[in-house]
Amino acid sequence: MLLETIPFKIYTGGVIVFEAKFGNNPQTLNFILDTGSSGISLDSATCVELNIPLRPTDTTIVGIAGSHKVSYAFNQKFTTGKLVTEKINFYVNDYSILTSVYGEKIDGIVGYSFLSKYIFDINFDSSHIKIYKPGKFEYPNGGTFIHPVFNKLLVQQVILKDKEKVAANVYLDSGAGLSLLLTDEYIKDNNIIFPRRKPVITQVQGLGGKKKMRLTVIKRLKLGPFTFRNVPTNLYNDEENVTSYPYTAGLLGNDILRRFNITYNYPAREIYLKPNNSFDEGFDYSYTGLSLYNYNNKVIADDIIANSPAEKAGIKNGDIIIGVSNNFSGDVQAYEKLLQKAKENIKIVINRNEKILLISLWPISIK
């Protein structure tokens, strides 16, 4: 039975953001739909703004940039459209880095605690989520079932082919705006990547903060019957073993998952994948070594990687980005998309110490 239909926005890397309400507060909040989260959470700044009472706990959460103890808002109501879900426990975390990356306030992240209660039919072509009551469900024609391990997080076997061909368990992580992430330990033990291919250094933002990684491509990735070629792949030094190696090799992100209309049926422990209009889209192979953040309604260049195209172009940390390729919208996601043009001369207007400068940036290709 259909309970509700809600719209969503697609952020950089295919990340899904939808609106919902917390408790009895009438304010609409922005939540990321994240199959890589075992709970449901609120941003600490949102809790202060809405004066939400919190209780400290000994619960520790772990993300790519570290781990820490969290407080909770217990036994709360969560409203999506007209669907009200009672008795939800929200932990609290600082999502200011996500707000600055996307340029829009991120108030929370929705994972297993909510996703496990219903059937979620996500249509990327229409940008709508249909939420169904658990039970008998009629799937559309033209798709394929996969049956990952359902244990709060979803673990699916994929086939990887580069220097070697291997089977690997990966988390299905709709909250990760990337294609594939593999741990250094997995790469070392399986000797999967051609040594002549030299990864570049990149910066990734996620739960807990920022983390430098290496970025390369692998020749082939197979998910169920679906094959993707020349897949951008982040290589990650998992010092705290967030990915539980050797059980899992890393994670599959939403830049792969967004290419399907997906039904997440947690109660039946199955997922249905149907290729959508984005299935054959090319991957982004461009590399600038530049991170953009929205601070106080200004787009700021930061975390510039040494010897990267951005550094060679003369961009400095703290530069204010006024415009990219004749786009002066101040929209950080629009600027990021305009920078996804490998081997092209991209004109960037910056403000540095009240001086306006025009810079030519030539992104390279990692392919």
- pLDDT (tens digit, 9 = 90+) per residue, 256-277? 999 999 999 999 999 999 999 9
Same-domain check for residues 328 and 252 = no
Same-domain check for residues 83 and 118 = yes
Would residue 192 count as lying in a domain? yes
Same-domain check for residues 117 and 53 = yes
Q: Given pLDDT bands bounded at 50, 70 and 90, which one contains residue 242?
A: confident
Same-domain check for residues 322 and 348 = yes
Q: Residue 318's domain is classified under what CATH number?
A: 2.30.42.10
Would residue 186 count as lying in a domain? yes
Q: What is the pLDDT, as a whole number, of residue 207?
A: 65
Tell me the longest C-alpha to C-alpha distance in the chain: 63
Q: What is the pLDDT, as a whole number, of residue 61?
A: 84
Total domains in the chain come to 3
Say if residues 23 and 89 touch (Cβ distance below 8 Å): no
Same-domain check for residues 190 and 95 = no
Q: Given pLDDT bands bounded at 50, 70 and 90, which one contains residue 365?
A: very high
- Could you give the CA distance from residue 38 to residue 15 in angstroms, rounded to a whole number? 17
Would residue 162 count as lying in a domain? yes
> Which residues form the domain of 125?
2-132
Same-domain check for residues 240 and 303 = no
* 22-31, 194-203, 207-216: the lowest-pLDDT one: 207-216
Q: What is the 3-state secondary structure (H, E, C) of 322-364?
A: EEECCECCCCHHHHHHHCCCCCCCEEEEEEECCEEEEEEECCE
Q: What is the pLDDT, as a whole number, of residue 241?
A: 87
Q: What is the pLDDT, as a whole number, of residue 276?
A: 98
* Domain final residue, candidates 132, 162, 187: 132
Mean pLDDT to the nearest integer, 290-305: 97
Q: Residue 247's domain is classified under what CATH number?
A: 2.40.70.10
State which H helix or E strand residue 312 sits in: helix 309-313
DSSP secondary structure code for residue 283 in this structure? P
Res. 66: pLDDT tops 70: no
